[in-house]
């Protein structure tokens, strides 16, 4: 008995190779089925807390400065609350401040390709005149900045 040549044609050859490799999906289909990379996330930090944003990238809420007029006090100005952060990455340490009403500060800051936006704070109101300092918490959104 003699061996017969196999005639598959181009379409048959492609299917045979795909079957041999175990998949008929294209690279485009693979890419479409993978989730898109995250471009933003929200965090809540207390004073002194550090969060890891990515491998070798951390953000620390270094200090909370609350100069708002305390409840029950008589003040000549309303004051403000600000949050001092330290971003640490391969480029070193970078400090910045987020605040809503502080002169010279902003709710949004961009550092090393990341944009930080103040979302809110707890407690939202200043403490009473004789109350101890509250356990401050700040919420912020971190976005990967898109190149322009």
Domain boundaries, the chain: 40-144
How does pLDDT run across 75-123, given as a tens digit for each residue? 898 889 999 999 999 889 999 999 988 888 899 999 988 999 999 999 8
How does pLDDT run across 40-84, given as a tens digit for each residue? 899 999 999 999 998 899 999 999 999 888 888 888 988 899 999
Q: In the CATH hierarchy, which top-level class contains the domain 40-144? A: mainly beta
How does pLDDT run across 8-33, given as a tens digit for each residue? 333 332 333 334 444 444 555 555 56
| Residue 97: per-residue pLDDT | 94
| Residue 119: per-residue pLDDT | 94
- Other beta carbons within 10 angstroms of residue 43's beta carbon come to 16
| Phi, psi (rounded to 5 degrees) for 78 | -75, -30
Model confidence at 143, pLDDT cuts 50, 70, 90, reads very high
Long-range residue pairs from 7-16, CB within 8 A, at least 24 positions apart, any chain: none
| Residue 28: per-residue pLDDT | 53
Strand, coil or helix: 16: helix
Distance of CA 146 to the CA centre of its chain: 13
Cα four-point dihedral sign 94, 101, 61, 51: negative
């Amino acid at each position: 008995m003699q061996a017969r040549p196999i005639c598959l044609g181009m379409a048959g050859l492609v299917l045979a190779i795909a079957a041999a490799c175990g998949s008929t999906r294209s690279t485009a289909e693979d890419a479409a089925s993978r989730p898109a990379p995250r471009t933003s996330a929200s965090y809540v930090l207390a004073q002194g807390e550090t969060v890891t944003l990515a491998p070798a990238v951390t953000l620390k809420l270094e200090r909370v400065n609350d100069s708002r007029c305390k409840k029950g006090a008589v003040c000549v100005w309303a004051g403000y609350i600000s949050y001092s952060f330290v971003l640490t990455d391969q480029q070193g340490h970078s400090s910045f401040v987020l605040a809503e009403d502080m002169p010279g500060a902003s709710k949004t800051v961009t550092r090393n390709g990341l944009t930080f936006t103040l979302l809110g704070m707890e407690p939202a109101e200043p403490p009473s005149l004789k109350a101890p300092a509250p356990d401050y918490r700040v919420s912020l959104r971190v976005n990967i900045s898109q190149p322009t």
